[in-house]
Amino acid sequence: MITVTANGKAFEIEERTSVSAFIRSRELDPRYVVVEHNGEPLERARYGEVALADGDSLELVRAVAGGSDRRERLGRARLYVVTDARRGRGDLRAFLDAILGAGVDVVQLREKAAEGGDLLRWAEVFRAAADRHGALFTINDRADVALACGADGLHVGQNDLPVEPCREILGPEAIIGLSTHDAAQADAAPDDADYVTAGPIWETPTKPGRLAAGLGHARYLAGHESRPWFAIGGITQENLREVVGAGASRIVVVRAVTDADDPAAAVRALLAGLPSAARS
């Protein structure tokens, strides 16, 4: 037997017990726990391979809350950033810590052409970063990956798997978002969608071939949508005032943050241009 300390309390355990097994012995789910091992963050992908040694110290934090808390945080959210895995830059963890530390409320992993195994590996980095900063983490399109990696939710488009089967896969606690491009799609959004997006407000290379929905779509949702909704598409610091003037208090951005020389500064500037409290 060996002795380890977890959250300041000593435990006697079998030699070679893994971090994952220890978490389960505490009646916790490893998918939903953030671990510091001897003062250093431990990636969730390594919980099963790292064996505890005599005198090791752990800090365990339950990281992923239930559906009601997720929806409460969604209701307070103002800034939602969509990003790829930043393979070309090789700075994914530092980038996520920078933008989440600056105040991003929701971060989404979007890699349309990636295989599931790659998505799961990147998702570990997103999940850990979101946990460190108390943010929500979503996956684009892939309900199976969202379930496997313990994401807070999923975002789907009009031609992706419909919301209802996504709900069946993910269960009642996940948050699910749906893109809408006009009033008819907004009106048809099922009740199982926790939030909707309005866009693209302006044409954007992240959605090639998609015509702009315009500010009129944002105005429509401002007058007709009771659930949280986000304006998306070509939004920058320079045109943000127009979006807010159309009734939006929440936005989704991609390039305005991911292409910025200083992503954290870009986040702070966008937040400064949004209402201090989001409204439905």
Cα–Cα distances (Å) from 197 to 125, 261, 270, in that order, read 25, 27, 18
Task: Give 274's contacts (C-beta < 8 A, 6+ positions apart).
Answer: 78, 79, 240, 244, 249, 250, 251
Same domain, yes or no: 25 and 160 = no
Q: What is the DSSP letter of 45?
A: G
Q: Which domain holds residue 17?
A: 2-62
Segments in the chain forming alpha helices (H): 19-25, 67-76, 92-102, 116-133, 143-149, 163-170, 183-188, 215-224, 240-245, 255-258, 263-272
Structure tokens at 16: 């070679």
Among candidate residues 47, 62, 77, the one where a domain is terminated: 62
Same domain, yes or no: 53 and 80 = no
Q: Is 277 contained in some domain?
A: no
Same domain, yes or no: 86 and 16 = no
What's the domain count of the chain?
A: 2
Contact present, 210 and 240 (Cβ < 8 Å): no
Please give the angle made by the CA atoms of 229, 124 and 110, to the nearest 5 degrees: 40
Predicted pLDDT at 252: 98
Same domain, yes or no: 49 and 174 = no
The amino acid at 21: A
The amino acid at 109: L
Segments in 4-47 forming alpha helices (H): 19-25
Same domain, yes or no: 96 and 131 = yes
Question: What CATH number did the domain enclosing 37 receive?
Answer: 3.10.20.30
CA dist 8 and 12 (Å) reads 13
Same domain, yes or no: 119 and 145 = yes
Predicted pLDDT at 207: 67
Among candidate residues 44, 62, 80, the one where a domain is terminated: 62
Whether this prediction's pTM lies above 0.75 is answered by yes
Q: Give one DSSP letter per residue of 112-141, joined into a string.
A: TT--HHHHHHHHHHHHHHHHHHT-EEEEES
Per-residue pLDDT of the chain (280 residues; tens, 9 = 90+): 999 999 889 999 999 999 999 998 987 777 767 889 999 988 877 899 999 999 999 998 765 556 778 999 999 999 999 999 999 999 999 999 999 999 999 999 999 999 999 999 999 999 989 988 889 999 999 999 999 999 999 999 999 999 999 999 999 999 999 999 999 999 999 999 999 999 999 987 766 666 788 999 999 999 999 999 999 999 999 999 999 999 999 999 999 999 999 999 999 999 999 998 776 6
For residue 6, the cross-strand partners are: 9, 58
Task: Give 152's contacts (C-beta < 8 A, 6+ positions apart).
Answer: 64, 70, 130, 136, 137, 138, 174, 175
Same domain, yes or no: 94 and 201 = yes
Structure tokens at 119: 């998505």
